[in-house]
Structure 1
Amino acid sequence: MASRSTIMDNNSFRAEHAADLDPETRRLTERREELLGGSYRLFYRRPVHLVRGEGQYLWDAVGEKYLDMYNNVASIGHAHPAVAEAVHAQMQRLNTHTRYLHERILDYTDDLLSTLPAELEAGDYKAMFMCTGSEANDLALRVAKTHTGGTGFIATTEAYHGNSELSSSVSPALGTGQPIGENVWLLPAPDSYRTGIAEIGPWFAEKIRAAVTDMESRGVRFAGFIADSIFSSDGVLPGSYLGEAVDAVHAAGGVFIADEVQPGFARTGAQFWGFGAHGVVPDMITTGKPMGNGIPVAGLLARSEVLSSFSDTIPYFNTFGGNPVSMAAAQAVLDVIRREGLQQHAQEIGAEALARFQELGTAHSAVGDVRGAGLFIGFELVKDRQTREPDRDLALDMLEELRMRGVLTSVAGPHGNVLKLRPPLPFGRQDIDWAVGALDESLKALR
């Protein structure tokens, strides 16, 4: 029996849904089945055929307009003209790899490093660039092994960090068919709602310490802890609680890898980087396609002494990691975030949206908890507020109801019962009304 992936299979089209499709959609799904590998998944029981995007909006093949509440890859908005123009201009001049000199990668790195916490000094971090977040996390894990001499890693039970052999080994959200590394210890996520523990930081730090002790008792040397600082695949868990856990990692001789593919680049509002909410400074920071608004570009920022353990002995070359076209896209994203004030916008509009969603949640007994930071919100559905029993079936039905009302999103968390509301950063006040109305109508229709 095939394994079930929490991030891939919960909201997906399956063969039994085909009978309900219109002829054109059915034709495309059948053609896709014939041509593409079986590992691919489609969202929704009635898949959406998208043809155009602008800002936070999408349009399908028959002209239906949708509000995108899920796509963080197009971080500054779909088809942003600044990115299109930057890519077009650089493509007309040159695109090549990093074994030739080029100013773009250097200028962008200077600019990117300027976004790190103010207490850091010049030279504290160095950068390397790839094409995907999977590659960035893969390299970070390799660097951690080299720097510490260890092979043991800690991740959370629903984490997702990539698709390479190494990054998938710390990505249990891919399902039981994807083996977890033999030297990987999985911990429950620091979820105050599910555990009922308000002060979740000390609880999680103790879990870290216990895992390291167990690891070492089995002859495995600890290398590091990798986490997305808002634990998005674990159910969206904002807060400020990782300080003691990171201290425990360092006390045990490990490094902390902050996977900022989802919470980084102004997404959480109050800070440019998601880890900023926790008051920690990671040993390594990984980024992915949101840094280029969907153009294949990713990066690793690492403490100089950590990276040198690897780079002083092992050459690394990613043919198109850091190419001038991708760097042009990445620079355009940074420029737009500043010029359009998207970090402050995410903080302000995110707070308004969270308040509205929480108010809506209070009115519906099926909503157990609503939490978020900036434009990253988790909307948790339960069968009973007292027992907090998760309601996965309701969450999946909600996705279909929301789709009918023009709102696109998906689910997260170990039970697949948390709506993951993560729109492109231009999401505005008028969109809050649309999203709240769709959620309200969908809950009423199902309850």
Structure 2
Amino acid sequence: MTGTVRASGFDFFSAGELPAPNLPAAEVAAIVREHWGLDVALEPLGSQQDQNFLATAGGTPVGVVKITNPAFTAAELDAQDHAASRIAAAAPQLRIATTTRAGDGTPRSVVAETGEGPLAIRLLEYLPGGTLTGGAHLSPAVVARIGELAGHASLALAGFEHPGLDRVLQWDLRHADRVVDLLAHYHPDEAKRAMVTDAAARAWADVQAVAADLPVQAVHLDLTDDNVVCTTERGIRMPDGMIDFGDVTASWAVSELAITISSVLHHAGAEPASVLPAVRAFHGLRPLSPVEVAALWPLVVLRGAVLVVSGEQQVQIDGGANAYAAAGVEREWRMFEQATSVPSEVMTGVIADALGVPLGGRAGAPKAHRIETSPGFDPARAARLDVSITSDDVDAGAWLDPELEDRLALRALDAGASVAWLERGTPRLSASRIRSAGSTATVPTGVDVWFAEAQHLQSVGDDARLVIETTDGATILDGTVPSRQRARIRLEMPDAPRVPHLVRPEYAPGWLALTEDPAAAMGLEDAGPGTPVRGYSTTGGADASELVARRERAFAEVQEHYYAAPPRIERGWREHLVGTDGRVYLDMVNNVTPLGHGHPGLAAAVAKQLRTLNTNSRFNYGAVVEFSERLAALAPDPLDTVFLVNSGSEATDLAIRVAMAATGRRDIVSLLEAYHGWTYASDAVSTSVADNPNALATRPDWVHPIDAPNPFRGVHRGADAARYAPEAADRIRGLAASGRPPAGFIAETFSGNAGGIPLPDGYLTEVYAAVREVGGLAIADEVQAGYGRLGNWFWGFEQQGVVPDVIAVAKAAGNGYPLGAVITTREIAARYRTQGYFFSSTGGSPASSVAGLTVLDAFRDERLQQNAAETGAYLKGRLEALAERHPLIGIVHGLGLYLGVEFVRDRATLEPATEETAAICDRLLALGVIMQPTGDHQNVLKVKPPLIVTRESADFFVDMLDRVLTEGW
């Protein structure tokens, strides 16, 4: 317990109950009129112990009227005003709610006679934009910003002294033990009350261990989600100011951050690791010392405990009149529940690791320890198993088999191993699961062993706790491990909480700091404390960020990557991608791999071909002929001749050059908002400003873009979309009449880059007729829409009921292997001779041709086109149902598994929700879904998953999107 503290100001422990003022709004309005000369309307605002109103005049906010609890002195109010002014001066980029004072000398505050006696009343500056009050999800960027605000407050208030800081508040965590003891009996639930008092006692002991070294200074002490104000820019709210200085006092400096991050914990999707961006941001401005790091999470637990008991007390003493306090009871319990969901020792280790702050003691180098085995085993014949993401043994989805580890171990024993074992610290893919909204526990804190002969294990020394468990978590008390059965072995610090055998990557640094490596203690190869042997970090974050840094040093910056902080992806299986920490993501955007990732048949076929022959297409071998024949057979008559290339860019580039050669012309008509590739010709006809902001200003004079036939947000909408085709035809005829007849017209047969938007019915029929009428060719860009993605049609142009003169295709053709094609007629292809010969080194190579053949076999054998039709229709139906409940969804575009979810801020104006779309994609990533925006406004989700995607995965995607749109992003 802390000793008795005498304060010149308010003393909570002397005051006892603290009922909030409850003046009628009319009485308050009269006081404002008398003292500030303002006629205002008042809207009640919440407060725990004061009374607040938003004052408006003529509908415009003019300030916040604060009726201070009569227990607080004038000196305390003056200290609050000075603290606000001090932060405003030190951080002018922030908005700070200072006390207003009119130019004619009207007072900052008054003491007015009221129906409840004399009360101090202030008119505070109104800061527009609202706060983060409520339970909506807070993005990492928002969490970081509130940590930054706390850092600015802490820096500004350092050295601030004032008599009004001499007060004893129930929110001052230096008195948390006394507050909990005093108020715990108010909690009506005996079990919850015990949880609070027990957790508070443990946390208080942790804080007291370092309390003497914790710096004390003036603090805001209530810089929570309720008290940070936001500016909304382009749909995204970001904190940039602070209000409510009523709790300003002197306390432990680190309390500022503890109170701030505790308020994050009740928000949707929040957990202890969610506060790390705030901790990093605070530390970046005002570095935390090792003792402050050690105290931080116990203080968060104490804050949660104080809020729970204080909230219950306030509800009872206000007799139900304080709606704000009543509404906070559930929220405060969630904060406490989250604060105690991970042991303080673990969170302290996680925070120290995130900041790079050494703690010493238990977080330092592990002690040498020994485990004796009897009768013993031969370490030279030990077989270390590998179920990490790089292991061949987890190929082809084997990691989803719950018997995989046992099967590998028994196979090793049968081959003569004395023991088979899985190391500590390296994430195990075999422990991960698909379609999970959160990470799964993949990081082992100990080792798993299978002995060829039964062994008795005994620890030597008393500096660690030897734990031996069966797979169901039962402890083997006598230390005897049966032969050929798995045992889980850990060395835990003797005074640490019990450690799970597998932990989530986010918390692995904290848990691993509480253990030693049993492998080294048993004489097996020492993998090091928490150091994975294959170079992957136990948490994916540091590993991924280091790789991004390396990428930026060696890889041209213009070659962008998805996400600002992308996970490191090193494995895929079907419609799933796997990070180095074992986290599995649902891939809903990767139309490069219609067969899915890690397809065994494709891998085997290409590997076999690479072992036998891989050269260029000028040699005579069978694969290039067979693939060309089968690809040509899939095209409608009269298209019968194939060019093979490496990519979609090369395919569209060659298609344009073929048209130019065949017609002897150079002009090309293309569509706006389109992307066709990065080579000279394919880039020339690309007009997407999302891919190139200067696209429209840098087109060569031989490219003639026409309106994108977008019936949702284009120049002609709805039924008027029928005007696009005749206008395009007129433009083509006009070019011919002006002496510049086009060589061809190129368009995606489905507006993929714009968001998976079907062309208006009959569009290509009329436009193709017009270009042929003037002697040009019709070029179909099928790079994205082709190969069955639309479900009911193999080629996108079939949906329009037309046949082009030239088809460009890639992406799906090789399932990620570099392969593209141009398909045309023998006559048109022959005219390309006027340009010389054509050659592609790897286009049509034996390996790429075999890849193409294997993909076509899989389309046939695995019914991918049918799945695109059936699962695509199901997915679109679910997305359309989602649009009925979420007005941000303007429309769901597309067919088959080529869909687009377009977000708008207003369904009438169709204002694009660009920033919201990016934020939604970031939140989906956190929930285990890979998704990216597309379209010129980057406000459309491009839903183009591998064609093997299942209904279960479609449901997971929609459920997570629903969650994001409900909880926030």
TM-fit CA distance, 1:177: 4.4
Question: For 2:913 and 2:784, how far apart are their aligned partners in 1?
Answer: 25
Secondary structure class of the residue paired with 1:154: strand
1:175 aligns with 2:175: no
Alignment of 1:413-424 (within 5 A): 413-424=935-946
Q: Which residue of 1 aligns with 2:645?
A: 130
Q: Aligned partners of 1:361 and 1:256: how far apart in 2?
A: 36
Between the aligned partners of 1:33 and 1:340, the Cα distance in structure 2 is 40
SS of 2:855's partner is helix
- Quote the Cα distance in structure 2 between the aligned partners of 1:308 and 1:203: 37
Return the alpha-carbon distance in structure 1 between the equivalents of residues 928 and 568 of structure 2: 13
CA deviation string 1:220-242 (max 9, x = no partner)? 33111111111111222125432
Deviation digits for residues 390-442 of structure 1 (CA, Å, limit 9, x no counterpart): 11111111111111111111111121111110000011110121011111011
In structure 2, the residue matched to 1:12 is: none
Residue equivalent to 1:392: 914
Residue 439 in structure 1 maps to residue 961 in structure 2: yes
Q: Is 1:31 matched up with 2:553?
A: no
Give CA deviations for 1:156-214 in whole Å, capped at 9, x if unaligned.
22211111111111112231446322211112211111145345664222232243245
* Residue 111, structure 1, aligned to residue 630, structure 2: yes
Rounded Cα–Cα distance in structure 2 between residues aligned with 1:273 and 1:47: 34
Counterpart Cα distance in 2 of 1:403 and 1:380: 18
Report if aligned partners of 1:95, 1:325 keep a CA contact under 8 Å in 2. yes
Aligned partners of 2:889, 2:557: CA distance in 1, in Å? Answer: 35
- Are residues 199 and 106 of structure 1, via their aligned partners in 2, closer, same or farther at CA, if it must alter by over 3 Å? farther
The amino acid of 1:153's aligned partner reads I
Amino acid of the structure 2 residue aligned with 1:106: V
Instruction: State how far apart, in whole Å, the 1-side matches of 2:694 and 2:722 are.
Output: 33
Cα distance 1:23–1:99, how it changes in 2: closer, same or farther (>3 A)?
Answer: closer
Mean Cα deviation higher: 38-47 or 20-29:
20-29
Distance 1:378 1:96 in 2: 40
Q: Matched residue of 2:905: which SS?
A: strand
Q: Which one of the candidate residues 153, 160, 165 is aligned to 2:675?
A: 160
1:280 equivalent to 2:802? Answer yes
Q: Cα distance, 1:312 vs. partner?
A: 6.0
Q: What CA distance in whole angstroms lies between the structure 2 residues aligned with 1:365 and 1:133?
A: 36
List per-residue Cα deviations over 1:71-90 (Å, max 9, x = no partner). 01111111111110110111
SS at match of 2:904: strand
TM-score, structure 1 as length reference: 0.91
User: Is the contact between residue 159 and residue 233 of structure 1 (CA under 8 Å) also seen in structure 2?
Assistant: yes
CA distance in 2, matches of 1:103, 1:66: 39
Find the counterpart in structure 1 of residue 366 from structure 2.
Answer: none
Give the aligned partner of residue 86 of structure 1: 605
Within the candidate set 866, 873, 877, 1:355 is matched to 877
Q: Is residue 319 from structure 1 mapped to residue 834 from structure 2 by the alignment?
A: no
| Distance in structure 1 (CA, Å) of the matches to 2:597 and 2:582 | 16
User: Retained in 1: the 8 A contact 2:756–2:898?
Assistant: yes
Hey, what does 2:785 align to over in structure 1?
A: 263
Q: Supply the AA of the counterpart residue of 1:125.
A: D
CA shift for structure 1 position 284: 0.5
Secondary structure of the equivalent of 1:192? coil
Residue 943 of structure 2 is aligned to residue 426 of structure 1: no
Higher Rg: 2
Whether the aligned pair in 2 keeps the contact of 1:208 and 1:249 (CA below 8 Å) is: no
Look up the SS of the partner of 2:893 in the other structure: strand
8 Å contact 1:191–1:200 — kept in the other structure?
no
Task: Map 1:198-209; keep pairs closer than 5 Å.
Answer: 198-199=718-719, 202-209=722-729
Query: How high is the sequence identity, in percent, across the aligned residues?
Result: 35
Distance 2:685 2:624 in 1: 30
Q: Tell whether the 8 Å contact from 1:67 to 1:431 is kept in structure 2 after alignment.
A: yes
CA contact (8 A) 1:204 1:245 kept: no
Map of 2:579 onto structure 1 = 60
Do the aligned partners of residues 409 and 35 (structure 1) sit closer, same or farther apart at CA in structure 2, a change above 3 Å counting?
same
Higher deviation after alignment, 208-217 or 44-53: 208-217
2:856 alignment counterpart: 334
Paired position in structure 1 for 2:17: none
Map Cα deviations across residues 127-176 of structure 1 (whole Å, 9 max, x no partner).
01011111111111111111122211111222111111111111122314
Select the residue among 744, 747, 772 that pairs with 1:227. 747
Alpha-carbon separation, structure 2, partners of 1:74 and 1:308: 32
Counterpart CA distance in 1 for 2:825 and 2:559 is: 36
Mapped contact 1:152–1:215 kept (Cα < 8 A): no
Which residue type is aligned with residue 89 of structure 1?
A: K
Q: Given that residues 269 and 374 in structure 1 are in contact (C-alpha distance below 8 angstroms), is that contact kept between their aligned partners in structure 2? A: yes
**d(CA) in 1 for partners of 2:553, 2:885:** 46
Q: Give the root-mean-square deviation of aligned CA atoms.
A: 1.9
What is the alpha-carbon distance in structure 2 between the residues aligned to residue 72 and residue 215 of structure 1? 36
Q: Distance in 1 between matches of 2:579 and 2:545?
A: 15
Matched AA of 1:390? P
- Determine the structure 1 residue equivalent to 2:758: 238
Q: Secondary structure at the match of 1:52?
A: strand
Contact 2:675 2:753 in 1 (8 A): yes
Deviations 1:20-48 (A, max 9, x none): 89443332222111111121111112212
> In structure 1, what residue type is equivalent to 2:612?
R
Which letter maps to 1:207? E
Measured in 2, the distance between the counterparts of 1:228 and 1:433 equals 29
Counterpart of 2:201? none
Asked if the contact 1:153/1:185 (under 8 Å) is kept, the reply is yes
Q: More displaced, 173-182 or 184-193? A: 173-182
- Partners of 2:934 and 2:558 in 1: CA distance: 19
Structure 2 counterpart of 1:250, from 772, 777, 788:
772
C-alpha contact (below 8 Å) 2:614/2:847 kept by paired residues: yes
Deviations 1:111-139 (A, max 9, x none): 1122223xx25xx4200101111111111
Does the CA contact (< 8 Å) of 2:649 and 2:677 recur in 1? yes
Contact 1:236–1:412 (CA<8 Å) still a contact in 2? Answer: no
1:328, 1:224 → 2: CA distance?
A: 32
Alpha-carbon distance in structure 2 between the residues aligned to 1:251 and 1:204: 18
Q: Distance in 1 between matches of 2:740 and 2:854?
A: 44
Query: Which is further off, 108-117 or 370-379?
Result: 108-117
CA distance, structure 2, for counterparts of residue 199 and residue 284 of structure 1: 30
| Count of matched residue pairs | 426
Q: Mean alpha-carbon deviation: is it higher for 208-217 or for 96-105?
A: 208-217
* 1:218 CA drift (Å): 5.4
Partner of 1:7: none
Q: Is the 8 A contact 1:202 1:244 kept in 2?
A: no
CA distance in 1, matches of 2:718, 2:853: 40
Whole-angstrom distance in 1 between the partners of 2:812 and 2:954: 22
Counterparts of 1:257 and 1:383, CA distance in 2: 36
| Residue identity in the other structure for 1:342 | L
- SS, match of residue 296 in structure 1: coil
Distance in 2 between residues matched to 1:219 and 1:354, nearest whole Å: 46
1:284 and 1:357 mapped to 2: Cα distance? 34
**Runs of 5+ consecutive residues of structure 1 not aligned to the other structure:** 1-16
Whole-angstrom CA distance in 1 between matches of 2:898 and 2:817: 21
